[in-house]
């Protein structure tokens, strides 16, 4: 229970359905540095209030160390390596449905439920992951790392509801957070400025370096590779007749490579650390893919290169395919799997 309306309603729906429910909030942020959002003290207090209203026990678990090691450190290290991280996917994989799921099993829980907008469906001997009913809130993209063992233990009560329906249920239960805004994409950034965060927690990794045009011209100096991502136009500090965009981040030379907009479009990518939700493909296949959360799905041909690596070919060029982000494959509303873009 994050203190938000989604996890609150998920708990209420399960309680109303006859489950024996207890709520757990994870304390994730270091002492005296807790932000708002789903990581702070205020969120814990809101979760406690909701638990009291629906009359379920509520507990707080200290997951600060694992969150620091698996999410915060990964977030900083990935940016400093010249790639763009997706901490929500890593948090789901290693914290919520990794360490926390194991803890829940230790205390004899039969299932773990969250407020994610997605569905778990069993077909034959496989558990499958399906997109949520509300396409505006669907979070299946963030869940492609789930294994069969994890899916068997997960409940997503909101998968068949829209956000408006969820808020109505919250009002019917007189929840104080019924109209609470959704938390920002990265819960531990208090002002959505990851650059300030990197400066504060990993200043030693920020080294200025050259900015080169694709044609080899030296155009200026960047402030540190962590401040830039593929496709970025603003903040380059370069004034030329044509707008320039980040085309490549060259960590070996500590250099930023820029070019015109058309240079940012690519037709293929390679991904690693691939996870398949259901049966592992035995050969090439066609699907639809997203290269970032809420990006339009595009038609692709996926060519497996071993068990956990794929080559992906797009029917149409894609803008700003970004190393460190995830490509996720869909077919008829189901998540087939995904991997980290190299």
- Alpha-carbon Rg for the chain in angstroms: 21
Instruction: Look up 91 and say whether it is catalytic.
Output: yes
Q: Of these residues, 38, 39, 137, 187, which one is catalytic?
A: 187
Q: Active-site residue 187, yes or no?
A: yes
**Which of these is catalytic: 38, 76, 91, 137?**
91
Q: Encode the chain in three state secondary structure.
A: CCCCHHHHHHHHHHHHCCCCCCEEEEECCCCCCCCCCCCCHHHHHHHHHHHHHCCCCEEEEECHHHHHHHHHHHHHHHHHCCCCCCHHHHHHHHHHHHHHHHHHHHCCCCCEECCCCEEEEEECCEEEEEECCCCCCCCHHHHCCCCHHHHCCEECHHHHCCHHHHHHHHHHCCCCCCCCCCCCCCCCCCCCCHHHHHHHHCHHHCCCEEEEECCCCEEEEECCHHHCCCCCCCCCCCCCCCCCEEEEEECCCCEEEEECHHHHEEEEEEEEEEEECCCCCCCCEEEEEECCCCCCCEEEEEEECCCCEEEEEEEEEEECCCECEEEEEEECCEEEEEEEEC
Residues serving a catalytic function are: 91, 187
């Amino acid at each position: 229970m994050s203190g938000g309306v989604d996890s609150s309603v998920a708990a209420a729906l399960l309680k109303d359905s006859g489950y024996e429910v207890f709520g757990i909030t994870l304390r994730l942020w270091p002492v005296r540095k807790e932000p708002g959002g789903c990581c702070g003290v205020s969120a814990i207090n809101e979760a406690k209030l909701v638990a009291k209203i629906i009359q379920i026990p509520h507990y707080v678990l200290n997951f600060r160390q694992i969150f620091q090691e698996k999410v915060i450190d990964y977030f900083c290290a990935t940016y400093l390596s010249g790639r763009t991280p997706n901490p929500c996917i890593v948090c789901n994989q290693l914290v919520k449905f990794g360490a926390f799921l194991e803890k829940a099993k230790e205390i004899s829980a039969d299932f773990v439920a969250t407020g994610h907008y997605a569905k778990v469906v069993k077909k034959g001997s496989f558990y499958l992951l399906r997109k949520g009913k509300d396409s505006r809130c669907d979070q299946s993209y963030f869940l492609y790392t789930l294994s069969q063992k994890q899916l068997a233990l997960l409940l997503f009560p909101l998968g068949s509801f829209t956000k408006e329906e969820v808020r109505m249920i919250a009002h019917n239960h007189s929840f104080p957070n019924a109209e609470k805004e959704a938390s920002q994409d990265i819960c531990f950034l208090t002002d959505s400025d990851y650059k300030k965060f990197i400066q504060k927690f990993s200043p030693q990794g920020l080294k200025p370096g050259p900015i080169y045009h694709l044609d080899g011209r030296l155009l200026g100096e960047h402030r540190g590779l962590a401040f830039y991502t593929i496709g970025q136009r603003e903040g380059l500090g370069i004034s030329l007749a044509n707008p320039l965009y980040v085309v490549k981040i060259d960590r070996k030379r500590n250099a930023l490579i820029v070019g015109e907009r058309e240079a940012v479009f690519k037709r293929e990518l390679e991904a690693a650390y691939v996870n398949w939700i259901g049966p592992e493909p035995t050969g090439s296949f066609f699907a639809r893919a997203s290269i970032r959360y809420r990006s339009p799905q595009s038609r692709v041909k996926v060519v497996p290169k071993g068990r956990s690596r794929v080559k992906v070919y797009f029917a149409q060029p894609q803008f700003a395919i970004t190393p460190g982000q995830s490509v996720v494959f869909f077919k008829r509303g189901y998540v087939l799997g995904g991997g980290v873009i190299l």
